[in-house]
Chains A and B, each alone.
Chain A
Amino acid sequence: MRLARFGIQSIAGLLAVSLASFSVITLMPADPVTIAIRAWSLPATEETVAALRAEWGLDQPLPVRYLHWLADFLTGDWGRSFRTGEPVLAEFAERLPVSLSLGLAGLALAIVLAIPLGFFSAAHPGGIADRMSRALSIFVQAVPAFWLGLVLLWVLGVRLRWVRPFANDWTAIVLPILLIALHSVAVLSRVYRRDLKETAGQPHFRTALAKGLSERQALWRHGHRGALYALLSAVRSEAGWVIGSTATMEILFGLAGISQFLVQSIAARDQMVLQAYVMVIAIWMLVLNASANLAMRLLDPRLA
């Protein structure tokens, strides 16, 4: 029952996003026919314009065009890129693995690092882990990941000569993942710590201490599960931040991901690419949201 409700909500959300983005993108001041004629150097005669308009259904009203687009989109026809002339779906399929692995690896690394950091900062308030995570959360708010990346490239690459800046090797994969994870580590470890501290104030936690468990044992056995739940619910909003950082990382490190493709296409006013990009991000948010919900449900038997 709840599953069906969640499914309906997600589909309604996707439809709302697609309708909103379709309307805004169609209202773009640029006319796709003029762009196509210039991009493909077609003769700019009345017949070509009329033929193109009829072929793309531009003479029809907006709702009809939206339904056409939706049907095409669902059947895998995402249109053609003006710039490359290739189908948009193929272009995305080629680049999506790069962006996805950046985002997923960053998020996974953040979760893995946030748990010990949050745990030790809750177990020893004011200790080194606590002060580190507090400093980190102030630091990442003020310093954007792409600038930190530039500074790292300068320090590691130019001063220490450990890596080659802007080279196309393993550092161009590892550094972006670390930088993407850094922001989420700070946020998630604070969430995890706050929930653990809350548990530590509860009567059942004192019972555990009275039973003879050490504070660290009691936190791990009786607090970890609940704190993990809070952490997963924060992961849902962190997913949006992560996908945003993959965009700057792709530009900085020259990785061929979907955001880089969007930036290259947008000079050609490639509307189909932009529309597909918005839809891919919406699906990314939806899938991560659903997985986080699923994991939360597995953690908390009351929800199942």
Chain B
Amino acid sequence: MPRLIMLAALAVFLCVGGFWQPHDPDAVDMLARHSGMTAGHLLGTDHLGRDLLSRIMAGGWRTACVILSVGAIGFFFGTLLGTAAAVLGGWRETVVLRFCEFFVMVPTLIVALAAAAIFGLSPLSAGLALGLAGVGPHALLAHALSLRVLGQPFILAARSLGIAPLRMIARHLLPNTLPLMFAYVGNQAGLAAVAYASLAFIGLGADPSKPDWGSMLFEYRVFIFDHPMLMIWPGVALALVTLLLNGFFDNGQA
């Protein structure tokens, strides 16, 4: 239960961050540069006097968009491909599995890197690229889970009762595989957040005016001598998100 509350708090923080921040995240205030932690700026300001908390909140919403789109794409296409392969069998199963095994070998970050180089880095393009590159493992898992369920006696019973295939998938197969798939997707969501931060840190085609945790870390790395807290906070936010997601879904899976 406390895990659920923490996850809900995280979701609220990320969503609120998208629409409301204590200050305008891009408002430059040269009089309040490096203000440190004050009542007006809870986490202080950066070298241009921009409020750090507001920038982290705005970046959190962009990270949340990536997590959601990566999860949705992996969950949807992975379940679709994996289940279809398990149900259809024969050469179609072989083709899907070979394709997925090939895709598992392709480094996700490099696919996203190439996509960012071509289309520019935005939560949408990164989410699409990371999501599509991650379909392989999801499909393999869905296939393995479906095979295990399809071997159960109740499937044989349903089959001998003459239930239509689609109905059987919807009523008997998916309810048994989807919870595990969901847990896996949640488990991978933390990886998506880290991957997006890495892409933004590398900075390929990123829009520098948009606050992303990764690009903030890149921008603030030069202040390591005088204002190290600038590069501590975005990293803490990223680590918290990943830890919470992993902790919550690991527990659900076991």
Contacts and interface: CB of A to CB of B under 8 A. Distances in A.
Given A21-B114, A243-B107, A142 B190 contact: yes
B109 A247 contact: yes
B177 interface: no
Contact of B228 (A141, A144, A154): A154
Contact of A248 (B110, B202, B235, B243): B202
Contacts of A289: 105
Most chain B C-beta atoms within 10 Å of own C-beta, residue among A147, A266, A281: A147
Given A241-B107, A278-B114, A154 B194 contact: no
Give the dominant DSSP class at A's interface. helix
B217 interface: yes
A263 B117 CA distance: 8
Interface in A250-297: 251-252, 259, 262-263, 266, 274, 277-278, 281, 285, 289
B224 A248 contact: no
A237 B191 CA distance: 15
Interface string A159-198: 0000001000000000000000000000000000000000
Contacts of B185: none
Contacts of B202: 247-248, 251, 259, 263
Contacts of B204: 262-263, 266
A50 interface: no
B243 A240 contact: no
A138 interface: yes
B198 A150 contact: no
B198 A144 contact: yes
Contact of A141 (B198, B224, B232, B242): B242
Contacts of B32: none
Interface string B212-234: 00000110010011001001100
Contacts, number: 117
Give the dominant DSSP class at B's interface. helix
B18 interface: no
B203 A240 contact: no
B107 A281 contact: yes
B108 interface: yes
A146 B198 contact: yes
Interface string B117-129: 1100000000000
A153 B224 contact: yes
B109 A244 contact: yes
Contacts of B36: none
B109 A143 contact: no
B64 interface: no
A24 interface: yes
B107 A141 contact: no
A263 B102 contact: no
Nearest to B232: A151
Contacts of A226: none
Given A165-B224, A263-B203, A144 B105 contact: no
Contact of B110 (A146, A151, A278): A278
Contacts of B246: 138, 141-142
B113 interface: yes
B239 A143 contact: yes
B203 A251 contact: yes
Interface string B159-200: 000000000000000000000000000000011001001100
A62 interface: no
A266 B221 contact: no
Interface of B: 102, 104-110, 113-114, 117-118, 190-191, 194, 197-198, 201-205, 217-218, 221, 224-225, 228, 231-232, 235, 238-239, 242-243, 246
Given A244-B109, A244-B113, 7 more contacts: A141-B191, A150-B231, A158-B225, A237-B104, A247-B198, A248-B201, A251-B202
Among all A-B residue pairs, the 4 with the closest Cβ atoms: A240-B107, A244-B109, A147-B235, A142-B242
13 contacts: A25-B114, A141-B242, A146-B201, A158-B225, A240-B108, A241-B109, A243-B110, A244-B109, A244-B113, A251-B203, A263-B202, A274-B118, A281-B110
